[in-house]
Copies of this chain bind each other. A is one copy, B any other.
Amino acid sequence: MVKITALETHDVRFPTSRALDGSDAMNPDPDYSAAYVVLRTDSPDGLCGHGLVFTIGRGNDVQTAALAALAPMVVGQSVEAMIADLGSFARRLTGDSQLRWLGPEKGVMHMAIGAVINAAWDMAARHAGKPLWRFIADMTPQQIVSQIDFRYLTDALTPDQALQILRAAEPGKAERIERLLAEGYPAYTTSPGWLGYSDDKLQRLAREAVEEGFRTIKLKVGLSLDDDIRRCRLVRAAVGPDIAVAIDANQRWDVQQAIDWLWPLKEFGLAWIEEPTSPDDVLGHAAIRRGVAPTPVSTGEHTHNRVMFKQLFQAQAVDLVQIDAARVGGVNENLAILLLAAKFGVKVFPHAGGVGLCELVQHLAMADFIAITGKKEDRAIEFVDHLHEHFIDPVTIRAGRYLAPTRPGFSAEMHARSIAEYTFPGGIVWRDLPAAESA
């Protein structure tokens, strides 16, 4: 029997706060970080699985400790049994009664469980010799349904309803796989729009993004209304009327404040306003959506589990949603969320950026196109162009589109050298920083 022999963890941090990359209204100085996990096996071919939780610096040690705490539930387990029934594997971790108390199904412990579940999916896809999107796409509808924990969902989505959605997508699968491989999947970019950037840099980067083929650009907003109006105007002038411009407030406002702030921004024909308020505030998003119509409202990158997504849909609180590959309980919970979105007819624009989030979430969007909704040209995956060089199978963007990865697995694996150099606080990068600048 091939067994999992170790759950290995690494606290990896990049000193990104030095360049104001990633600055927004709530996060002025993030150090993009990963609590990184590897499942090792005694397979003669070196089979392993990689996963990560993205954080923005302080607390990455706590997140790493949460990964390590899962070792007793995983080490010694049969790889074959795990791969053959990832649904049961995921439910055993998310359902552990003692660990569940620490959430339930939210925060540090839930994200750690999600990363270990993602590492198991990475291993399963590698073992099958397929990229993860294809590994999911090749499952039968019944196999996909068996991945999902329907607890707390059945008032919005039953296993039978999920099965119907998946069966309806079966015709045309092969043709869609060909199209995906040929065309790629639309991307949108947030790289021009960080709050810390100057007006010149914003306009220059926005123009460059359009020249590179992006059709949607997103700006960070929420610190100063005058700045936001000026920046929206500058970007609109730079990119012309045919490019979609979205804005992201990163949870900055209260409900009425959001409605008031967004009023003068209506003229720019925004594609969506993202995270106007607390990610927990389902009813607040619904009120904002009514108050700022027709501007579409969106949230999701911090939405902590399927129960919250369910309510966003039930309350008609959003026009579209983000999903995040490393916030919820792994691939299994994201499949539930994608099926809920399909049931309610809400488009998904996956959240990415950070460390490895582009690499991960592309697989989920592509699996959705092949096996769930059959749609991709009316939606897009976020793209931010940094830190990809640390990954063994980095995303490939061509003409504003993600090319489908072909290498087996979930694209989560980082270069061993990057892990070593950026390990906090002992890696060479952190040792060489002036003491006053370290976290």
Contact = CB atoms under 8 A, between A and B. Distances in A.
B27 A97 contact: yes
Interface string A103-137: 11111111110000000000000000000000000
A378 interface: no
Contact of A254 (B61, B100, B151, B305): B151
Given A107-B108, A256-B155, A98 B56 contact: yes
Give the number of times this chain occurs in the complex, counting copies.
Answer: 2
Interface stretch (A281-289, A383-391, A403-411): A281-289
Contact of A307 (B27, B108, B278): B278
Nearest to A281: B307
A57 interface: yes
A350 interface: no
Contacts of A305: 280
Nearest to A73: B58
A205 interface: no
A254 B66 contact: no
Interface residues of A, number: 63
A139 interface: no
Nearest to A315: B283
Interface of A: 26-31, 55-59, 61-63, 65-66, 69, 96-112, 151-155, 251, 254-257, 277-284, 287, 302, 304-305, 307-308, 310-311, 314-315, 439
24 contacts: A27-B97, A28-B97, A55-B101, A56-B98, A58-B69, A59-B69, A59-B99, A59-B109, A62-B65, A62-B109, A65-B65, A102-B107, A102-B108, A104-B279, A106-B106, A107-B109, A107-B110, A107-B304, A152-B281, A278-B307, A280-B307, A280-B311, A282-B283, A283-B314
